[in-house]
Chain A
């Protein structure tokens, strides 16, 4: 019997239908403009594919889960969290997830957007795999199912699931409403995934393959790192493996600077990065695409700003990603906040995916 924690953020996506990008703090405004909550509809459209009878859901009362399950014709559930009367908040999601953990669920299924993903991640972390039914305005995190049917396929195999790393992104709501995409790596969750059967049964993405790939990438990059050169190393587990190979500590969610195999700056902000570039030393940026859209550079709070990129030079950017990550992100995405700079990026770039192995990937700007 698989135990699935299930939570819906009933107001997720509310802002989107009425031209508000995101919903945090603007619910009343959204409702005033005539927004109709749709998260539960999205949840039902995914749940109705579930026919397996060895799944027990643990959920919340009313619109935070119970309603969607019932409407999808699923009755094997128990309510572990009583949703408040009236409007729900991020805290309700977090509290529900805490109770799911106490109940030893195999997986947390949630319905919402990037904000909900963050709330779930705050409690669940990487302890239990998660999976999102997309219903938000912004879905840049890599935890969402591709389509409603695949949710059912994953749940029905919940006992023998593969998991992969998935970045949770923090998108700044205020700038997003002004049309500025400001992304930051918020955390690294584990997302439930199905084994991907290809003809030769070769493309199975396994954790050990991921580790092996990261190790190969780290071996190669550390081998070609040049002396007296400043390396600005972006966030994520792939870049982390490079810094670990040098015997140094990496800020997983931040940017570090390395020169001559020594850690120069830990968790650098844009100012610190610019300061390290204020000499004539050669410099390089090493980044890995993050999120479902495969960002290599997002604007705004990103420490590696347009100015930093200009100083280092476009030809001095080294992009690294595991083969599985590359397979999941057909396009890479660049949005430095500086259209002129974005335009200078080539149509395709080389991504290092192994020891002396690279792939050519298209860039979408």
Chain B
């Protein structure tokens, strides 16, 4: 039985898979925040390069990856697929557990899969600087790495609670030549408004996005880049799922269950969209696609499927997605990258239509699972990733009960080497099991301010 299933460099996917081509019905379009009319390419051109806008709206099933991008991706791709033999043995499960290890990238997560093409297209368009936000710091460091490759300047608004929790993430950004600012900051109007209301705020992805978008929109030479949520970001991540399908085929497998944690949805999209395509086309109708989120920010399991802003200040287009409300500031859990009020519109639609489903877990149980994983497979995963680990373990334990030998695939989206304060808190029994009071909110939903 093989432990690592590897692909040769030539076997790397040369095209991104665009799931939009296979959706059962078209995606609801993003709406302009002022007019509430569908946004056109020109509306987005102030902050995105045209090629990314094209990809955002493309109907084509496959989009070629530029050779210059492939060359960079080959630094760590194809990434290994592991059979988690030791974990299986530990769980005494008949299930077969496979995990895709995305922690091998320079930044330590799946994020460079999209930061590299995004920086590349911006460079091609003659942009000089990119502004972005980062939650846990994974995206910020990934974009810092990519912009360095193409000689672009990079300004990163980092959610304040992560900025203090994870000092080494900002050190990485510095090594790669980017500027990292704790958000909310006084550099933008959006940040000033939030700070005036609440100077002690831990910040949130929603606030940091407002700051970065404002920075890009108010500087001519500057564009904006988003690390998740948007269609083109999910598109770039599909190299993950395509590789997995190839790798599993090498050992004559096809997954029964595909799992990924969900912040904005990009790593889950990356691993699951190729399989979702198979599911919708009827080729593999029964594959179970599971997104995993924190109980404190349960967008897919407890949110509303509606149009909402992508950010706190209401600067972004309105997206049809599962949302907890753009003004929701999730509690400071250690999985900073999962603290987002909304979700990818494609993932949202697929969950809404039952092609995918979602589960939510509390903080201490996912760290328990991460510990089990570290003590069997060795890898210390990021707090975000621990959510996927927990769901995979639960699936495997379910198999032990039923005796089924399911093939479980999960995305091991990143390492936790810079998240040791979170593990320290776990061992000090200081992890708080935050949750979202969905019932109370639902009872009074009719009287809540309407989400536009």
Residues of B near A198 (CB, < 8 A) are 425, 428, 430
Partner of B432, one of A199, A202, A208, A359: A359
Complex Cα spacing A327 to B433, Å: 11
Residues of B near A355 (CB, < 8 A) are 329
Does A354 have its Cβ within 8 Å of any Cβ on chain B? yes
How extensive is the interface on chain A, given as a class? 20 to 34
Q: How far is the CB of B431 from chain A (nearest CB, A)?
A: 11
Complex Cα spacing A198 to B425, Å: 9
Does B8 have its Cβ within 8 Å of any Cβ on chain A? no
> Are B425 and A360 touching (Cβ within 8 A)?
no
Does A357 have its Cβ within 8 Å of any Cβ on chain B? yes
> Are A358 and B437 touching (Cβ within 8 A)?
yes
Complex Cα spacing A354 to B362, Å: 17
Does A212 have its Cβ within 8 Å of any Cβ on chain B? yes
Partner of B433, one of A209, A224, A323, A360: A360
> Are B433 and A223 touching (Cβ within 8 A)?
no
Partner of B437, one of A212, A327, A352, A361: A352
Complex Cα spacing A54 to B324, Å: 54
The interface bits of chain A over 331-365 (1 if a CB of B lies within 8 angstroms of the residue's CB, else 0) are 00000000000000000001011111111110000
Closest to B435 in A: A358
Q: How far is the CB of B325 from chain A (nearest CB, A)?
A: 8
> Are B362 and A223 touching (Cβ within 8 A)?
no
Contact residues, A285-335 vs B (CB, 8 A): 318, 323, 326-327
> Are A357 and B434 touching (Cβ within 8 A)?
yes
Does B121 have its Cβ within 8 Å of any Cβ on chain A? no
Complex Cα spacing A318 to B437, Å: 10
Residues of A near B328 (CB, < 8 A) are 356
Residues of B near A220 (CB, < 8 A) are 437, 440
Complex Cα spacing A358 to B440, Å: 11
> Are A212 and B440 touching (Cβ within 8 A)?
no
The interface bits of chain A over 185-209 (1 if a CB of B lies within 8 angstroms of the residue's CB, else 0) are 0000000000000111011000011
> Are A203 and B430 touching (Cβ within 8 A)?
yes
Q: How far is the CB of B367 from chain A (nearest CB, A)?
A: 14
Residues of B near A246 (CB, < 8 A) are none
Q: How far is the CB of A255 from chain B (nearest CB, A)?
A: 21
Does A226 have its Cβ within 8 Å of any Cβ on chain B? yes
> Are A359 and B435 touching (Cβ within 8 A)?
yes
> Are A224 and B435 touching (Cβ within 8 A)?
no
Contact residues, B257-310 vs A (CB, 8 A): 295-296
Does A26 have its Cβ within 8 Å of any Cβ on chain B? no
> Are A224 and B441 touching (Cβ within 8 A)?
yes
Q: How far is the CB of B223 from chain A (nearest CB, A)?
A: 33
The interface bits of chain B over 343-362 (1 if a CB of A lies within 8 angstroms of the residue's CB, else 0) are 00000000000000000001
Residues of A near B441 (CB, < 8 A) are 224, 356
Closest to B364 in A: A360
Residues of A near B435 (CB, < 8 A) are 350, 358-360
Closest to B362 in A: A360
The interface bits of chain B over 426-448 (1 if a CB of A lies within 8 angstroms of the residue's CB, else 0) are 00101011111100110110001
> Are B432 and A212 touching (Cβ within 8 A)?
no
Does B331 have its Cβ within 8 Å of any Cβ on chain A? yes
How extensive is the interface on chain B, given as a class? 20 to 34
- Most chain A CB inside 10 Å of its own CB: which residue of B324, B331, B421: B331
Given contacts A198-B430, A200-B421, contact A354 B443 (CB under 8 A): no
> Are A199 and B421 touching (Cβ within 8 A)?
yes
Partner of A226, one of B164, B329, B424, B444: B444
Does A225 have its Cβ within 8 Å of any Cβ on chain B? yes
Residues of A near B188 (CB, < 8 A) are none
Complex Cα spacing A224 to B329, Å: 17
Residues of A near B440 (CB, < 8 A) are 220, 224, 318, 352
Given contacts A198-B428, A224-B443, A225-B444, contact A357 B200 (CB under 8 A): no
Closest to B440 in A: A224
Complex Cα spacing A12 to B195, Å: 51
Complex Cα spacing A337 to B448, Å: 38
Complex Cα spacing A224 to B441, Å: 6
Complex Cα spacing A318 to B443, Å: 13
Complex Cα spacing A355 to B424, Å: 27
> Are A224 and B164 touching (Cβ within 8 A)?
no
> Are B436 and A356 touching (Cβ within 8 A)?
yes
Given contacts A223-B448, A224-B440, contact A202 B164 (CB under 8 A): yes
> Are B200 and A209 touching (Cβ within 8 A)?
yes
Residues of B near A323 (CB, < 8 A) are 432
Residues of A near B376 (CB, < 8 A) are none
Contact residues, A194-242 vs B (CB, 8 A): 198-200, 202-203, 208-209, 212, 220, 223-226
> Are A200 and B200 touching (Cβ within 8 A)?
no
Contact residues, B382-438 vs A (CB, 8 A): 421, 424-425, 428, 430, 432-437
Does B165 have its Cβ within 8 Å of any Cβ on chain A? yes
Closest to B165 in A: A200
Complex Cα spacing A226 to B442, Å: 11
Q: How far is the CB of A229 from chain B (nearest CB, A)?
A: 9
Given contacts A200-B164, A352-B440, A354-B331, contact A359 B448 (CB under 8 A): no
Residues of A near B437 (CB, < 8 A) are 220, 350, 352, 356-358
Complex Cα spacing A228 to B425, Å: 44
Q: What are 10 pairs between A and B in contact, CB < 8 Å?
A: A199-B424, A224-B444, A226-B443, A327-B430, A353-B434, A358-B434, A359-B433, A359-B434, A360-B295, A360-B433
- List 4 additional contacts besides A198-B425, A203-B430, A355-B329; criterion CB under 8 Å: A202-B164, A356-B441, A358-B437, A359-B435
Query: 4 closest pairs, A vs B, by CB?
Result: A224-B444, A360-B433, A358-B437, A357-B331
Interface residues, chain B, with chain A CB atoms under 8 Å away: 164-165, 200, 295-296, 324, 328-331, 362, 421, 424-425, 428, 430, 432-437, 440-441, 443-444, 448
